[in-house]
Amino acid sequence: MNEQNAVQFGIMSVSDITQDPTTGVTPSEAERIKATAAIARHAEEVGLDVFAIGEHHNPPFWSSSPTTFLAHVAAQTERLIVSTSTTLITTNDPVRLAEEYAMLQHVTDGRMDLMLGRGNTGPVYPWFGKDIRQGLPLAIENYALLRKLWDEDVVDWEGKFRTSLQGFTATPRPLDGVAPFVWHGSIRTPEIAEQAAYYGDGFFANNIFWPKEHYQRLIELYRQRYAHYGHGTPEQAMVGIGGQVFMAANSQDAVTQFRPYFDNAPVYGHGPSMEDFTEMTPLTVGSPQQVIDRYASMRDTFGDFQRQLFLIDHAGLPLKTVLEQLDILGGEVVPVLRRELAKNRPESVPDAPTHAARVRAVYGDGPSRQARPSANRGDNLTAGSPYQDAPAPVGAAFGLGRKGA
């Protein structure tokens, strides 16, 4: 990836396994997973910057373990940033998130970030022993702990939703001593925009279902609060946006080809017509020039932003069609959008975040911090263990000795 890209362009997958309405064929889980890996590889081949995958734990989706899949993608690419869209901050344990994404950071040499969110499937909360009525408090507390686990080598923690931690060190430590960049993703929740602003993180408005005015209000709130918390001017806040496209050289061909997928897809079907949906939301079905015109205008609506992700591999579209869409996106659309969005972009507006740039911001031209075992690190085996002060026979039964034994 060209680190100097002011705006990162990429694709995001929701990992749905949907019947192709034109053939009646439904891919297997294995076929869909393999196809998504091929799509990610081709995204790099056509010059895109980012591939992102969602996290779901219910059919018809397959992406229950995004870090596993993203590590696989990163091993098969050279420049592509791998990310999530989203990681469930509410139902995942923050300790596990700290470890898994720091590990992903290491194995990708920093070519990763993540988007945190609450997800859109209510039953996921009880599946992981959580109460959906506590969704926002969970998001706030869990992220506070996640940040602490990345930023501090030794953590003491007491909260409402999980057991306390004493002298705990999450391993591995973040690469170069710099935590992964975090986007907070939201479709509708102003509290998530507030959370992103408080920490000085990025805010991703996944504007794929609602009118742009709704997301305009969320982004404006985020920008104002980002400045309020002293991270910079509103224009310096890190903004990402979503989108959906289907393209053909002739716009009517695009409409004809995509209509059966739109009409039958679980997320669209039997609702507004495709024409009404494209008018009300950023879904654009037409020629490459129509996509360029519409998405170049997003700057007028949202201000300068740092990341644009497109949803293109859903609704039962076959792999061959998705790869063809990538060819158009990378060959005809994104190069023009890069030029258009670079015009008159103020120098004060930051470029899209990369690990290398974030390391330079911390260390300048000096060497980065590399974590090594130290006497000052936490002792996770015994610190805070319920068996720490147990009589010897009880400790022995669990294969544990007393501290120092």
In a domain, 391, yes or no: no
In a domain, 138, yes or no: yes
SS3 call for 10: strand
State how far the Cα of 237 lies from the Cα of 203, in Å rounded to an integer: 8
In a domain, 378, yes or no: no
Do residues 242 and 205 make contact, with C-beta atoms less than 8 angstroms apart? yes
- How many CB atoms neighbour CB 250 within 10 A? 10
Do residues 105 and 67 make contact, with C-beta atoms less than 8 angstroms apart? no
Give the residue among 145, 87, 146 at the shortest CA–CA distance from 113: 87
Q: Residue 86: is it exposed, middle or buried by C-beta count within 10 angstroms (0-12/13-18/19+)?
A: buried
The predicted model scores a pTM of 0.90
Do residues 229 and 194 make contact, with C-beta atoms less than 8 angstroms apart? no
Q: What is the pLDDT along the chain (405 residues), one digit of tens a residue?
A: 344 589 999 999 999 999 999 999 999 999 999 999 999 999 999 999 999 998 887 888 888 899 999 999 999 999 999 999 988 888 789 999 999 999 999 999 999 999 998 766 667 767 667 777 777 788 889 999 999 999 999 999 999 989 999 999 999 999 999 999 999 988 777 888 999 999 999 999 987 777 788 889 999 999 999 999 999 999 999 999 999 999 999 999 999 999 999 999 877 767 889 999 999 889 999 999 999 999 999 999 999 999 999 999 999 999 999 999 999 999 999 999 999 999 999 999 999 999 999 999 999 988 888 887 776 677 676 544 443 443 433 333 334 443 333
In a domain, 300, yes or no: yes
Do residues 129 and 79 make contact, with C-beta atoms less than 8 angstroms apart? no
Q: Residue 320: is it exposed, middle or buried by C-beta count within 10 angstroms (0-12/13-18/19+)?
A: exposed
Domain harbouring 343, CATH code: 3.20.20.30
In a domain, 150, yes or no: yes
What residue ranges in 124-281 does DSSP mark as E strands?
Answer: 155-157, 165-168, 182-186, 202-205, 239-247
Give the CA dihedral 248, 250, 256, 257, nearest 10 degrees. -20
In a domain, 386, yes or no: no
Q: What are phi and psi of 13, to 5 degrees?
A: -115, 140
Domain that holds residue 260: 8-372
Do residues 8 and 52 make contact, with C-beta atoms less than 8 angstroms apart? no
**Count of structural domains, the chain:** 1
In a domain, 2, yes or no: no
